Amino acid sequence: MLKLNTFSITARDEKTGQFGVAVSTKVPAVGCLCPFVKAGVGAIATQSFVNPYIGINGLKYLEEGLSAQQVMERILQEDPEPAIRQFGIVDKQGNAVAFSGDKCDGWYGHLTGPNYAIAGNMLVGEDTIQEMKKSFDSTSELTLAERLIAAMEAGQAAGGDKRGRQSASLKVFSTEEYPLVDLRVDEHPDPVKELRRVFEVAQKELFPFVEMLPTLKNPAGKFDFESSREMGLLQDEG
């Protein structure tokens, strides 16, 4: 059983309706099994003795119209080992809930507020999630992706995972079935810092391309040759 001793933030942007999860841990490839996000539906982070079906089924229940609280109650009823789980859920109304089973290891706990749930286990201490909350509460002028990264940086600066650092992930959905942002640092000595570096590169070389992709409202997309050349996606003639 994979144990993700982790700190994460699950959130909704009140202005845009975007959903996202950012997470870091001392296990490779945390982005593989922890964050679950669906446009117009909600976001879930599952960790500790991770159960991916908390995310998979949880999103399904949210899409069926259950609230975050109702989804949490249903998940806990269905899970045969709830005491070893930890997760956060945010629904499309911005309702947020979190759960930390009493058999999570080390220091563990969670915080919730309008549009966000923050959780961590095997942490250096409570400062990690408290600083993440302060960061998220004070950065409403930024995009959701930027707020999530800033919260992770604040959590890491406050101690983060007691065992050390290895991987980090950022996933944000907007209006489409595909992600607006999906970045992963699968194995690195300073993954949150590296996630920031990758994000800054993506700001210039990836996100403008994503903005040109086909959407549900515009199946043709907004492909632009000049912008594509500037990003290095096309070669100059000659």
pLDDT of residue 237: 54
pLDDT of residue 3: 47
Q: Which CATH number fits domain 3-191: 3.30.530.20, 3.40.50.620, 3.60.20.10, 3.90.1150.10?
A: 3.60.20.10
Instruction: Quote the CA–CA distance of 122 and 120 in Å, as a whole number.
Output: 7
pLDDT of residue 124: 82
Residues 6+ apart with CB under 8 A from 174: 16, 17, 18, 39, 180
The domain limits of the chain are 3-191, 206-238
pLDDT digits (tens, 9 = 90+) for 19-66: 999 999 988 999 999 999 999 999 999 999 999 999 999 999 999 999
Instruction: Quote the CA–CA distance of 36 and 27 in Å, as a whole number.
Output: 18
Q: Residue 168 corresponds to which amino acid?
A: A
pLDDT digits (tens, 9 = 90+) for 52-63: 999 999 999 999
Percent of the chain with pLDDT over 90: 83
- 64: enclosing H helix or E strand: none
Give CA separation, 201 vs 26, 132, 183, 190, 231, in Å.
24, 24, 11, 17, 11
Instruction: Quote the CA–CA distance of 81 and 51 in Å, as a whole number.
Output: 10
Q: What is the pTM of this model?
A: 0.92
List the chain residues with pLDDT less than 70. 1-5, 160-164, 225-238
